Structure 1
Amino acid sequence: MPAPRFLSDKICTVRAKRERRKEARPGELLEAALDLFVEKGFAATRSEEVAARAGVSKGTLFLYFPSKEELFKAVVVENLAGRFTEWNREFDEFEGSTIDMLRYCMRIWWERVGSTKASGLTKLMLSEGRNFPELAEFYRREVVKPGHTLLRRIIRRGVDSGEFAPVDVDNAIYAVISPMIFLMLWKHSAPICVDGESDIDPEKYLAIQTDIVLNGLCKSKAAA
């Protein structure tokens, strides 16, 4: 005899909730892992802590991510490496000057990465990468290399258009990267990088650093 209609509907509802919960688990696990990696570092974070924070068992965690290393890689892809397709597309479609592009690049980096928890991944790799060479190489390949490539494209665009003076592009990119790294360290470390009498306004800081970079790159200061 078939189950009563109300019972059948209830079973379907429970199954639907379970399916939605199952689909949500990878995202919840990645979010929990990001929180703990940034709070505690890679070495000090235990897989069972990630599972507990996500509200699942350790066994469930390993169904999706077979090791802590693979979990970390997935966190990096989700929050950083997986976004370069979007960022390169923005470069290709940008219609303004390269000066405007560089200003936009540094401002939008802060909004999308620097001001978020994901910026703690860079600080983590700077402090622990030497102890985990496989993860360091993964981060270099998936985040550092494409990031440098994109910045080279921006600076070469300015040189080719005549907005920037000819420069050693491979080294010039670090004039842009260094202020970003400083902000990430400042955000996730003890406040020892400032004089103690004033705090840093990240957006104002990046605007000033961009001006400094541009006044060193542009043929004419008036152009910047």
Structure 2
Amino acid sequence: MQAGQPKWRRRSEARPGEIIEAALAVFAEKGFAAARLDDIAARAGVSKGALYLYFETKQDLFRAVVRETVAPNLTAVEAFADQGGLAFADLIRLIFARIADVVAEGRLGPVAKMVIGESRNFPELARVWHEDVVSRVLNAVSRAVAAAQARGEVRAGDARLYVLSLAGPLLMGVLWREVFVPIGAEPIDLKALLAQHAEVALKGMLLEPERVGA
């Protein structure tokens, strides 16, 4: 902050971020339907009137949560997928490692669970999640698969279906952690799960699978 700049100005500019962080916490704890704007305002330390200055509805808040706390982490995944000169096997290992780190941060899992559980009643949740998260990863990695096929690294096949196959264990791992671990199920090491799945999947996708472990 520059000398002479009013202190309240920094606080005002910080408020949207604080409200978004509070909304993420409340959504994770209570789900979308049960979350109240009063609860979010109280968690953020602002009045409900102040909250309305930035967000008119819970849907607006959810969209902001996804775009500000989840989607930015996907930029690295897109960057990995779009860079040239990297062997496909190494690319998949990098992407899986990055996604595992994002899940380990604890932000993606609770939001994904909420979308799955409440999107029938609140289809806007699914729409935002699909547009800002799922489509970004699916499109980026599909491009990488197609490029690897053009280079002769990956077997012929629908690139999009390849990506969905790769993503299956990630979804299962997230749901296991968010749904079953809280009731006493043994935790799963998501990083180990994705690392192992990458090696298994690559042996089936690559034209020369013996190079996977090289």
TM-score normalised to structure 2 length:
0.88
Return the match for 2:65 from 51, 75, 86. 75
1:163 maps onto 2:141 in alignment? no
Q: Which residue of 2 aligns with 1:22?
A: 12
SS of alignment partner, residue 130 of structure 1: coil
- Contact 1:179/1:206 (<8 A) preserved: yes
- Contact 2:23/2:40 (<8 A) preserved: yes
- Contact 2:78/2:136 (<8 A) preserved: no
SS of alignment partner, residue 154 of structure 1: helix
SS of alignment partner, residue 166 of structure 1: coil
In 2, distance between residues paired with 1:112 and 1:138?
A: 18
1:145 maps onto 2:119 in alignment? no
TM-score normalised to structure 1 length:
0.85
Taking a change above 3 Å as real, the CA distance of residues 199 and 112 of structure 1, as seen in their structure-2 partners, is closer
SS of alignment partner, residue 32 of structure 2: coil
Q: Which residue of 1 aligns with 2:34?
A: 44
Return the match for 2:78 from 80, 83, 88. 88
Cα RMSD (Å) of the superposition? 2.2
1:215 maps onto 2:203 in alignment? yes
Structure 1 residue 81: Cα displacement: 3.2
Q: Which residue of 1 aligns with 2:118?
A: 128
Taking a change above 3 Å as real, the CA distance of residues 147 and 97 of structure 1, as seen in their structure-2 partners, is same
**Which AA in structure 1 matches 2:85?**
E
Which of 1 and 2 has greater Rg? Answer: 1
**Which AA in structure 2 matches 1:68?**
K
Return the match for 1:112 from 74, 91, 102. 102
**Which AA in structure 1 matches 2:203?**
N
- Contact 1:38/1:121 (<8 A) preserved: yes
- Contact 2:80/2:95 (<8 A) preserved: no
**Which AA in structure 1 matches 2:197?**
Q
In 2, distance between residues paired with 1:114 and 1:160?
A: 34
* Structure 1 consecutive aligned stretches of length 4 or more whose deviation exceeds 6 Å: none
Q: Which residue of 2 aligns with 1:9?
A: none
In 1, distance between residues paired with 2:129 and 2:41?
A: 23
Once the two structures are superposed, residues 87-141 of structure 1 have per-residue CA deviations (whole angstroms, 9 ceiling, x without a partner) of: 4334333532111001100111111245422332111111111111233222222
Structure 1 residue 170: Cα displacement: 2.2
In 2, distance between residues paired with 1:184 and 1:199?
A: 11
Q: Which residue of 2 aligns with 1:8?
A: none
SS of alignment partner, residue 24 of structure 2: helix
Q: State the identity %.
A: 34
Structure 1 residue 182: Cα displacement: 1.3
Q: Which residue of 1 aligns with 2:189?
A: 201
Structure 1 residue 82: Cα displacement: 4.2
**Which AA in structure 2 matches 1:124?**
M
Equivalenced residues, count: 210
In 2, distance between residues paired with 1:223 and 1:81?
A: 33
In 1, distance between residues paired with 2:166 and 2:104?
A: 14
